[in-house]
Structure 1
Amino acid sequence: MQYQYKFEKIMSLRTREKDEAQSVYQDAVRKFEEAADHLYQLLKKKEVLESHQSEKLSKGLAVSEIRHHQQFIGNLEKTIDYYQKMVINARNRMNYQHSQLMEKNIEVKKYQKIKEKDYLHYLTIEKEEENKVMDEISIQQFMSRGN
């Protein structure tokens, strides 16, 4: 008799769901990293621009150039605020997907544990059946010797 796990289809479905959750999580991580990298680049650019502007201010700068720099930095700050919100949203999505993945992992592990216990039970029953057959054979041999 060959071992057949009664929840095999459910387990394969849960495994597939876990793999899909893993893929979605990896995508969320990638998007978070992209948004965080873009935010970092913008912050670095703002820092360079501000240091460049303060350097020019110490040497003397026309009012129109100061206004132009301030307007550019103001626009850059708006972009930075937008990307900060994007990073927060991406982090929240990534954390949510991570929790979903953990739930799927736990579910699959439960079914694997059930399968292991079921298989051990199957082996025990097989061993008992084998012992019964061996006992029957021993009894028949003993009886045939006695005649």
Structure 2
Amino acid sequence: MKFQYAFQKIVDLKTNEKTQAEWMLSSAIGRLQEEKKSLEELLESRERMAKQLQEAAERRAPVSKIREFQMYADHLQQCIERKYSDVAQADSNVQMKKKQLSHKMLDEKVWLKARDKAKSSFQQNMLLREQNELDEMATVRFAMKAR
């Protein structure tokens, strides 16, 4: 007789939910990395712009050109501030997905443990049944020899 767990579909569902949570976490981590990379690019652009602004001031460039550089530098600063917010939001999303994954993993573990206990109980019952059959066979043989 083969072991069949009555709640196997629930175990499968919990495993699928855990896998899906892993994918969601992976996606959230990818998004966070993209946001961080974008932030680094903006910071590098700001540094280049600051150098250009300083060079323009040293060369005694026209005020209009310096104002243009300054306006672009201000724009970059606003973009950087928004990007910091985006990075924080992406990080928050990663933390939330980690919590969801740990919850799904725990849920799956509970169901797997219940299945293992049921399988162990089934195996114990099968061993007991086999032992009883062997004992009965031994008793019948003994009785046959005793006659």
Shorter-chain TM-score: which interval?
Answer: over 0.9
Quote the residue 1:36 is aligned against: 36
Gap regions ≥5 residues in structure 1:
none
Contact 2:56–2:66 under 8 Å retained in 1 = no
Measure the CA separation in 2 of the matches of 1:54 and 1:103. Answer: 53
SS in 2 for 1:104: helix
Matches within 5 A, 1:1-147: 1-147=1-147
What amino acid sits opposite 1:84 in the alignment?
Y
Q: Deviations over 1:63-112 (max 9, x none)?
A: 11111111000111111111111111111111101110111011111111
Measure the CA separation in 2 of the matches of 1:67 and 1:60. Answer: 13
Gap regions ≥5 residues in structure 2:
none
Measure the CA separation in 2 of the matches of 1:120 and 1:11. Answer: 16
Measure the CA separation in 2 of the matches of 1:59 and 1:100. Answer: 57
Aligned-pair identity (%): 25
Q: Deviations over 1:5-55 (max 9, x none)?
A: 122111111111111111111111111111111111001110121123223
Q: CA deviation at 1:126?
A: 0.9
What amino acid sits opposite 1:55 in the alignment?
E
SS in 2 for 1:6: coil
TM-score between the two structures when normalised by the length of structure 2 = 0.94
Contact 2:53–2:70 under 8 Å retained in 1 = no
Q: CA deviation at 1:58?
A: 2.6
Q: CA RMSD in A?
A: 1.2
Measure the CA separation in 2 of the matches of 1:65 and 1:59. Answer: 11
What amino acid sits opposite 2:91 in the alignment?
R
